[in-house]
Amino acid sequence: MAKETDNRDDLRNQIIHVFVAGHDSSAITIGHALFHLCRHPDKWEKPHREVEQSGGNFTFESLKNLYYLQYVVKETLRLHPVAPLDSRRAKQDTMLPTGGGPNGDSPIFIPKDSTVTTSFHALHHLAPCFQPYPEAFRPERWETVRPGWEYLPFGGGPRICPGRQLALTEVAYVLARMTQEFRTVECRDPVEEWVEEFKITASSQNGTKVGLYRE
């Protein structure tokens, strides 16, 4: 890209995107998953048994077949999308077809140069398909839930995150190896609730404090 432009802002933004997408997102999601699994040790047992039964020879396809582990990843991203907000600036006067009015089914006028921000965090909690108990960590809900545009941890459409499959594979592999290596997990965090720290990405302000045991 440096051969195509000398705009320092553009170059800086691209470098930041590489670090955020290539490093932060997977590590933060793994931390979020462990945050909840250590508070629900019974949900650690299920992927542990899954991995044992699979033989532990992990490939791209075999990780996809660890169904409960995939449910854990999906539920973690539902509760804590690493990029919980996304914004777009209108290049011209336009209309959103719905979202306005008392019932949310009227159009909304968007003037040129307005910034429209979407909250994926709110979407993942308010969507009807995630009711009831949207605040609860329940990987089992993914046995039946099949959301469309109500679940967007990587965005959607032509601008969906190009590293989506890489991130999902990294997270699944690390969690699979951890459940393979360690029999039980316990919470060692004096703070029970998840506290957000929002910078470029959203992560746990208090980190993830766990104990892992082989027996």
Residue 209 belongs to a domain with what CATH number? 1.10.630.10
Q: What is the pLDDT of residues 97-128, one digit of tens each?
A: 998 999 889 999 999 999 999 999 999 999 99
Q: What is the pLDDT of residues 133-168, one digit of tens each?
A: 999 999 999 999 999 999 999 988 888 887 889 899
**C-alpha–C-alpha distance, residues 42 and 22, integer Å:** 31
Mean pLDDT of 1-15: 86
- Provide, rounded to the nearest whole percent, the portion of the chain with pLDDT above 90: 73
* Residue 107 belongs to a domain: no
Q: What DSSP assignment string belongs to 52-119?
A: HHHTS---HHHHHT-HHHHHHHHHHHHH--SS-EEEEE-SS-EEEEEEESTTS-EEEEE-TT-EEEEE
Mean pLDDT of 191-199: 91
* Residue 96 belongs to a domain: no
* Residue 100 belongs to a domain: no
* Token representation of residue 39: 């508070």
Average pLDDT value over all residues in the chain? 92
3-state secondary structure of 165: helix
**C-alpha–C-alpha distance, residues 128 and 195, integer Å:** 25
Q: What per-residue confidence (pLDDT) applies to 49? A: 94
Q: What per-residue confidence (pLDDT) applies to 152? A: 95
Mean pLDDT of 35-54: 94
Task: Tell me the residue range of the domain where 172 lies.
Answer: 8-84+119-213
Q: Could you tell me the sign of the dihedral formed by the alpha carbons of 151, 153, 159, 160, in that order?
A: negative
* Residue 105 belongs to a domain: no
Q: What per-residue confidence (pLDDT) applies to 20? A: 63
Residue 161 annotated as part of some ligand binding site = yes
* Residue 181 belongs to a domain: yes
* Residue 3 belongs to a domain: no
Residue 199 pLDDT > 90: no
Q: What per-residue confidence (pLDDT) applies to 166? A: 87
* Residue 2 belongs to a domain: no
* Residue 104 belongs to a domain: no
Domain count, the chain: 1
Q: What is the pLDDT of residues 66-88, one digit of tens each?
A: 999 999 999 999 999 998 998 88
